[in-house]
Structure 1
Amino acid sequence: MGSLYYGDSAEPINIDDRALAHLKIVIATKLRRNESFTLSWHHADAENGGRSTIWLHPSIPLRFVFAESEAPEISRQWVESLASSASSSGGITLVDEDVEDTINC
């Protein structure tokens, strides 16, 4: 399980390593272009359900921490799906991967 540290919060947002790797690509691309957007996700069942949304802006510090030392294979289709949602008015909604097209990054 990976972690995304947002702003100055000491408490991480826990996200599966594979999902976090895909999000990192999309988030870094958007922020490199100075684009702001939201990121939303559903809480794990262990967290009593619910959902959260954060505002991502180039001036807000982010740190991606991965539990695994090896980077996972990347699904081009999943990255494209997340990137498409990042450009929508609702921002990125973290959804499960449902494709098998992978590339090495």
Structure 2
Amino acid sequence: MGKLIYEGTVKVDFDDRTLAHLQLVIGTKLRRGEPFHFTWRDDASIGDGRTTVWIHPRCSLVYKFYGSRKPQLNPAWIDALAYTANSPTGLYLVPEPAMPRAEGVEEHDLAG
């Protein structure tokens, strides 16, 4: 389980895989100088509401990963998250789509 820390005070847990995808999408937007809202659902233990923060080039973000391995990134999920980040409502989590298969790989090859 990883952690995103915003401005040193707002801390939210995401699994490492989700956090890696968010890091890529957020980093891309910030490199372009594009501020945006980021909204997530809060855990039931803190009220089961939602939190929104304003992400901008001068904000302080820390991505804390607890696993030692970098997760494999899903280009379709990156595209889906980037689509939300570019919308008027801003970035929010969407379910991960199926990982695209590598071209020329048969289904029985994936079964091992």
Contact 1:74 1:102 in 2 (8 A): no
Quote how far apart the aligned CAs of 1:45 are. 3.1
Matched residue count: 102
How much does 1:58 deviate? 0.3
Deviation at 1:15, TM superposition (A): 1.2
Aligned to 1:35: 34
Deviation at 1:97, TM superposition (A): 1.4
Distance in structure 1 (CA, Å) of the matches to 2:101 and 2:42: 26
Q: Report what 1:22 is aligned to.
A: 21
Question: Which has the greater radius of gyration?
Answer: 2
RMSD (CA atoms): 1.7
Secondary structure of 2:87's aligned partner: coil
* TM norm structure 1: 0.88
Structure 1: any 5+ residue segments left out of the alignment?
A: none
Query: Do the aligned partners of 2:80 and 2:94 also contact (CA within 8 Å) in 1?
Result: no
Identity of aligned residues (%): 39
- Segments of structure 2 that go 5 or more residues without pairing to the other structure are 103-112
1-structure distance, mates of 2:101, 2:20: 13
